[in-house]
Amino acid sequence: MATMQQVADRAGVSIATVSFVVNGTKYVTPATTARVRAAMRDLNFRGNVVARALASRRTRIIALLFPTTGNRFSPTTAQFFMSAAERASERGHHLVLWPVDPAGDDLDDLVSGGLVDGVIVMEVRMDDPRVAVLTSLEVPFTLIGRTRDSRGLPFVDIDFETTIVSSIDHLESLGHRRFALVLEDLEGTPMAGYAPHLRAQATFERVIAERGLVGQVAPAGAGSDGGRAAAEAILAADPDVTAVLVMKDDSSAGVLVGLYAAGRRVPEDVSVLSIASSATHADQHYPRLSTMVAPGRELGIRAADALIDQLDGVSDDLPHFLLPCTLRIAESTGPAPV
């Protein structure tokens, strides 16, 4: 097994410099750091994790908190996690996915034992108890999402307000005036108050009213059956609806089935637009779904950067970063029927 001295000799630096790079205890120029890491790779050097943690008082492990309730790990969620993990690794950290109770009751055990240096919080609610717990424990954290008032909190998030406006803009430009928005039915669950849904619904209802359009919000239960039931409810409430926005990945196929079962063709009779999803998910449907594609990769990277910047003390600024979804037109949207 290679030693620090051998790494130092290979990189042409002192053993102290190797220690600084390994433990992250002192600034080393990027060029020198690159030489040391290259020497470590060449010699297959592996530092002792426990010793490194003791020396630096940091484990260089960060946790991504994800609620244990329900089946909420979608392809978009996976993109958040993978991009954050890749970015953390690039910056010398390990990211672990840590399921936690939505109420945050088990957070104390996770963070008080010194296992992790900081956390990234996902699936944020308007009044999220995990934020209060982390704040009281003085644990560095970053949100992928926003609470009701996030002005004093570090966050990155999808700009759901702009995304919904752009969605309606696209469909209205095609002549549609009768809309529906499908959201997950979270009433009475631990995820009630889920911030993305409340922001999307509020924006949808506001824009519909301001523009003199017709609109309804349809809650959907789990899976394809939930989507089919939502489509049936939409048509029962407004048989003349011509545009449906779906912000629930596991129910989008069911929405299509429900529309077809009622004799509605997509997109000839009803256009369907998937919200905050992925191109991969969209292409698994027939017809392929037009989609407001979530910026999952960029938000995951920015969340990791925001937290690690806190840990490294490189910035005192609170990151407040919003990025809207981007429209990807496929086969499920078209002109409103005449």
Lowest mean pLDDT among 163-177, 205-219, 223-237, 300-314: 300-314
Contact assessment for residue 292 and residue 327, using Cβ atoms and an 8 Å cutoff: yes
List pLDDT tens digits, range 158-169.
Answer: 999 999 999 999
Q: Provide the mean pLDDT of the chain.
A: 90
Rounded to whole angstroms, how far apart are CA atoms 219 and 217?
A: 7
Which residue from 291, 260, 303, 244 is spatially nearest to 124, judged by alpha carbons? 303
List pLDDT tens digits, range 36-77.
Answer: 989 988 888 866 544 454 444 667 899 998 887 766 667 788
Domains of the chain and any CATH numbers: 4-56 (1.10.260.40), 61-158+296-323 (3.40.50.2300), 160-294 (3.40.50.2300)
Cα torsion 161, 165, 167, 168 to 10°: value is 140
Contact assessment for residue 120 and residue 98, using Cβ atoms and an 8 Å cutoff: no
- Cross-strand bridge partners of residue 322: 157
Rounded to whole angstroms, how far apart are CA atoms 94 and 62?
A: 6
Rounded to whole angstroms, how far apart are CA atoms 21 and 11?
A: 12
Rounded to whole angstroms, how far apart are CA atoms 60 and 308?
A: 9
